[in-house]
Amino acid sequence: MNKVFDATSMTDLDEGVLDRGAFVSEEIYRQELQTVFTRAWLFVGHESQIPNPGDFFSSRMGEESVILVRDKASVIHVFLNSCRHRGMKVCRYDQGNTSLFTCPYHAWTYATDGKVRGIPQYKELYDGVLDREKWSLIEVPKMVNYKGTIWASWDENAPDFETYLGEAKLHLDQALDCRDGRPGGSEVIGVHKWVFPSNWKFAAENFLGDSYHNPSHRSVDLIGIGPSARQGIKGRRDNELEMAKHVWIGFAAGHGVHSAVQAMGAEYVSQFANDPEIEAYFRHCHEERNQRLGDDARLLPFTGTIFPNTSYHGRQPRNLCVWHPHSPTETEGWRFFFVDADAPTKVKDFLRRFYMRYSGPAGMTEQDDMENWLYATKASTGTIARRYAFNYQLARDQAHLDPEVNGLTVRGRVNTKMTEHMARGYYRRWKAYLDCADWDELLGRNDPRFAATKKGSPQ
């Protein structure tokens, strides 16, 4: 009767069950902060947010504040936003430009490369001997600029970012590359930030490819909020991918995506006939992309989550979203919206309006999703509710398919029907982080499910 509840005692991912403690337990949450957010690669911002020397953007890694900054020599850094003297935040603004970070407490100052620049009464009170170099801002040891997106890890032994992404890279690329197929070239046109009472993993899991929750969006589908807002077109996106074959793919390191493969020779679907300029732009992008990428242009993105807490919408709308943990039952979502940097102003404005009606705190689709996550979190805190595990058995007993989809080879564990194998894989990896496993384990190198793309193996 008095036995202490083990927050993951009911978890068995081969069986397809996950203890609700994963979403509400304070003990599990503390463990996540220590083992997941100090090791995994985390998204911190985009280079277009800090184009000039001295530009900074205050970001987060887990619960902790970090500063993404471009120094005087134009080198990008990520620093812990905490003074080395007594820990005060040295930067209290969301973003801006500065030549120095001056701590508001006792006024130590740091240059944009993190070095101590000034210490009040240095000669008199520290006898001029304090080793300034040693007391620089704490810099994240691993950082990468991947197609303009900045990612960081606190683990010096973390594998390089592309190894970490593995075969999920191709899908993330679709969200980051220009619409005409040029690599990179995107810019952030705005960031929505909002707090909601849900565990952070509900959101991350949603974008792994949970298409099963489609009934939640019935109202936005009925009114048709897609980019073209064409008369007679139902759905919250345009039906440009109607003829495509949808794929749900899990990757060894715990990432999961929902993408689509167009049929060979798929034509551009005319969508914006009411506006010749917008129509010409998207038609041009479609044709250019086909020319540039050839057969590979047939792979198109929907959504995905890069383990642990960065999700993307690859196309309609197009953004990266980070789910920052606040507590087991509270999350701060930051959605970074992308456009091609050289797109016409009219196209950027057109996309901005669609993004806002779809995503973020006021976005009609995101509101549907959040309502589910926050009620599910709240309901799972109950004493009785916590005795019952969640079900992750969807398509558990179905064999995974050949990686050949519409004649295109797609890598990873591929399904052409809805499945929860991405979620099972994600939580297997999450469990490995909690258990302080080594990087071979965290990357799924020992997982027989990913040893070979063998048709018919269990999920």
Binding footprint of ligand FES on the chain (CB under 6 A): 83, 85-86, 88, 103, 105-108
103 binds, among Fe ion, ligand FES, none (CB under 5 to 8 A by kind): ligand FES
| Residue 118 or 458 with smaller CB distance to ligand FES | 118
106 binds, among Fe ion, ligand FES, none (CB under 5 to 8 A by kind): ligand FES
Q: CA 288 to CA 38: how far, in whole Å? A: 41
Contact segment (CB under 5 A) with Fe ion among 33-41, 253-261, 266-274, 361-369 equals 361-369
Contacts with 131 (C-beta within 8 Å, 6 or more apart), sequence order: none
83 binds, among Fe ion, ligand FES, none (CB under 5 to 8 A by kind): ligand FES
Q: Is 83 helix (H, G, I), strand (E, B) or coil?
A: coil
* Structural element, H or E, at residue 149: strand 149-153
Is 196 exposed, middle or buried (CB count within 10 Å of its CB: 0-12, 13-18, 19+)?
Answer: buried
Q: CA 105 to CA 359: how far, in whole Å? A: 38
**Cβ neighbours, 10 Å, residue 281:** 20
CA dihedral 262, 264, 267, 271 (to 10 degrees): -10
| Lookup result for tokens 């203890």 | 19
212 binds, among ligand FES, Fe ion, none (CB under 5 to 8 A by kind): none
CB of 322 to Fe ion, least distance (A): 17
Q: Are 299 and 410 in contact (CB under 8 A)?
A: yes
| Residue 51 or 87 with smaller CB distance to ligand FES | 87
CB of 55 to ligand FES, least distance (A): 22
| Residue 25 or 359 with smaller CB distance to Fe ion | 359
| Residue 105 or 126 with smaller CB distance to ligand FES | 105
CB of 33 to ligand FES, least distance (A): 23
| Axis crossing angle, helix 421-434 with helix 26-35, rounded to the nearest 10 | 80
CB of 226 to ligand FES, least distance (A): 50
Q: CA 38 to CA 448: how far, in whole Å? A: 27
Rg (CA), the chain: 23
CB of 372 to Fe ion, least distance (A): 8
| Residue 95 or 102 with smaller CB distance to ligand FES | 102
Contact segment (CB under 5 A) with Fe ion among 30-38, 71-79, 364-372, 413-421 equals 364-372
| Residue 139 or 330 with smaller CB distance to ligand FES | 139
88 binds, among Fe ion, ligand FES, none (CB under 5 to 8 A by kind): ligand FES
| Residue 135 or 439 with smaller CB distance to ligand FES | 135
| Residue 371 or 435 with smaller CB distance to Fe ion | 371
353 binds, among ligand FES, Fe ion, none (CB under 5 to 8 A by kind): none
Q: Residue 35 corresponds to which tokens in the numbers above?
A: 């083992």
108 binds, among ligand FES, Fe ion, none (CB under 5 to 8 A by kind): ligand FES
Binding mask 313-352 for Fe ion (x = CB under 5 A): ----------------------------------------
CB of 453 to Fe ion, least distance (A): 29
The angle subtended at Cα 140 by Cα 135 and Cα 144, nearest 5°, is 145
- Give the closest residue to 363 by CA, choosing from 202, 199, 186, 236: 236
Q: CA 51 to CA 260: how far, in whole Å? A: 34
418 binds, among ligand FES, Fe ion, none (CB under 5 to 8 A by kind): none
CB of 90 to ligand FES, least distance (A): 7
Q: Is 27 helix (H, G, I), strand (E, B) or coil?
A: helix
| Residue 86 or 213 with smaller CB distance to ligand FES | 86
47 binds, among ligand FES, Fe ion, none (CB under 5 to 8 A by kind): none
Q: Are 7 and 22 in contact (CB under 8 A)?
A: yes
369 binds, among ligand FES, Fe ion, none (CB under 5 to 8 A by kind): Fe ion
Q: Which of 255, 369, 377, 459 binds Fe ion (CB under 5 A)?
A: 369
Q: What are phi and psi of 19, to 5 degrees?
A: -60, 135
| Axis crossing angle, helix 364-380 with helix 345-358, rounded to the nearest 10 | 30
Q: Tell me the residue type at 41.
A: W
Q: Count residues contacting Fe ion (CB under 5 A)?
A: 1
Q: CA 281 to CA 326: how far, in whole Å? A: 41
Q: Interface residues with Fe ion (CB under 5 A)?
A: 369
